[in-house]
Chain A
Amino acid sequence: MMSMTSTTASPFRPSPMPRGRKCAVRAQAGAGRVDASDKSIEIMRKFSEQYARRSNTFFCSDKSVTAVVIKGLADHKDQVGAPLCPCRHYDDKAAEVAQGFWNCPCVPMRERKECHCMLFLTPDNDFAGEEQVITLEEIKDATSNI
């Protein structure tokens, strides 16, 4: 799987977490949700557009779904250091990040174009829209009221 990671379009190094960081992540998670920085949202937005084009997949016809997922990825990137899939429940997020299976784009997406988060949808999916672009404003609008 390591070789797979290195050949993908992921803009993220599968860097292991710094040792001391684990506790800090836990503390943050307990204290409430930390909002993703604009920078992370922008990084994930660009990545999503680029990966959609590259994999010939499309965003959901309901763009608010796309926006929420991108925001979730950015949140995870800020909190745990990697864009862990926001549509899963993890016992130990730090361990998952290190393991890398569910770092976006996750292994099922890379291998079979399966994104149960509905960020990248194949054209034959009922929920697929026709767009591969989303603006920062769209993301902010859709996530501001959550």
Chain B
Amino acid sequence: MAAAAAAAAVAACPAPPRRLYCGTALPAPSAAVPCSRSVGYGPSSGTRRWPCRRWAPHRPGAASRIRRPTPRSAAARVSCAYSPGAETITACSWNEYVICSDIPVLIEFWASWCGPCRMVHRIVDEIAQEYAGRVKCYKLDTDDYPQVATSYSIERIPTVLLFKNGEKIHSVTGTLPKSVYVRAIEKSISDSGQ
């Protein structure tokens, strides 16, 4: 039974990182959907010996949720911590994934009918893959979370902000060649002496 649960958990891995459980608008539906229903199981699952036969095969998201409090299975976590491209971030996960991140975070502010944003999307997606593990990349829709955009005085979009240690260290506004973004990232990485 335990093996079955582990298999289910591994199967759930290609979904977005479990650390992003707060994000509501994740692109992959498989993990986001069951989350809301499995929340009730969370506290009691600390015992980690949950008889999961009844529902684990049908709800892979729930299986990963049970596993979350246990510090084991670090290998599985590494293999699925980064999905291709930039992820969507929400206002409620802002503090956790931007302010509290131990690696630099790059955030693109965009809006649905902004033409140049689509070009910047592509660049940010490429950067997310190339710098996987060194820089975290997110996108934030300013129409969905106007309060975040307002608090960082975003006027023109697309605007890309680079955060390190919870502080905004760089801001790029408009559509610029990829090298501009890469240079800012390289600088932030090298400054920390990594």
Asked if chains A and B come from one complex, the reply is yes
A-B pairs, top 8 by smallest CB distance, nearest first, are A72-B113, A65-B115, A69-B115, A68-B115, A86-B113, A87-B114, A89-B142, A89-B149
Please determine whether A146 and B112 come into contact, CB atoms closer than 8 angstroms. Answer: yes
Please determine whether B115 and A64 come into contact, CB atoms closer than 8 angstroms. Answer: yes
100-134 of chain A: CB within 8 A of chain B: 116-119, 127
- Tell me if B42 counts as interface (CB < 8 A to partner A): no
Please determine whether A65 and B116 come into contact, CB atoms closer than 8 angstroms. Answer: yes
Please determine whether A72 and B114 come into contact, CB atoms closer than 8 angstroms. Answer: yes
- Tally of A-B residue pairs with Cβ under 8 A? 67
Please give me the residue from chain A that is nearest to B177 by CB atom. A126
A-B contact pairs, 19 of them (CB 8 A): A33-B143, A65-B118, A65-B119, A68-B118, A72-B112, A73-B113, A87-B114, A87-B115, A87-B116, A87-B117, A89-B111, A89-B142, A89-B150, A89-B154, A89-B155, A89-B157, A116-B174, A117-B114, A119-B115
| Dominant SS among interface residues on chain B | loop
List, in ascending order, chain A residues with CB within 8 A of B109's CB. 89
Please determine whether A127 and B112 come into contact, CB atoms closer than 8 angstroms. Answer: no
List, in ascending order, chain B residues with CB within 8 A of A91's CB. 146, 150
- Tell me if B175 counts as interface (CB < 8 A to partner A): yes
- Which of A65, A87, A89, A127 gathers most chain B CB within 10 Å? A89
List, in ascending order, chain A residues with CB within 8 A of B117's CB. 87
50-94 of chain A: CB within 8 A of chain B: 60, 62, 64-69, 71-73, 75, 86-89, 91
Beyond the given pairs A33-B143, A91-B146, A118-B115, 8 more chain A to chain B contacts, judged by CB atoms under 8 angstroms and listed by A's residue number, are: A65-B118, A66-B115, A67-B115, A87-B115, A87-B116, A88-B157, A89-B155, A118-B116
What interface size band does chain A fall in? 20 to 34
Q: How many B residues face the partner with a CB closer than 8 A?
A: 22
Binding site for B on A (CB under 8 A): 29, 33, 60, 62, 64-69, 71-73, 75, 86-89, 91, 116-119, 127, 146
Question: With contacts A64-B118, A65-B119, A87-B157 known, is A71 near B146, CB below 8 A?
Answer: no
Distance of A31 Cα from B118 Cα, bound (Å): 24
List, in ascending order, chain B residues with CB within 8 A of A29's CB. 143
Question: With contacts A89-B150, A91-B150 known, is A116 near B113, CB below 8 A?
Answer: no
Distance of A67 Cα from B113 Cα, bound (Å): 9
Distance of A144 Cα from B191 Cα, bound (Å): 44
Distance of A33 Cα from B144 Cα, bound (Å): 10
Question: With contacts A89-B149, A91-B146, A91-B150 known, is A69 near B118, CB below 8 A?
Answer: no
Please give me the residue from chain B that is nearest to A76 by CB atom. B113
List, in ascending order, chain A residues with CB within 8 A of B174's CB. 116
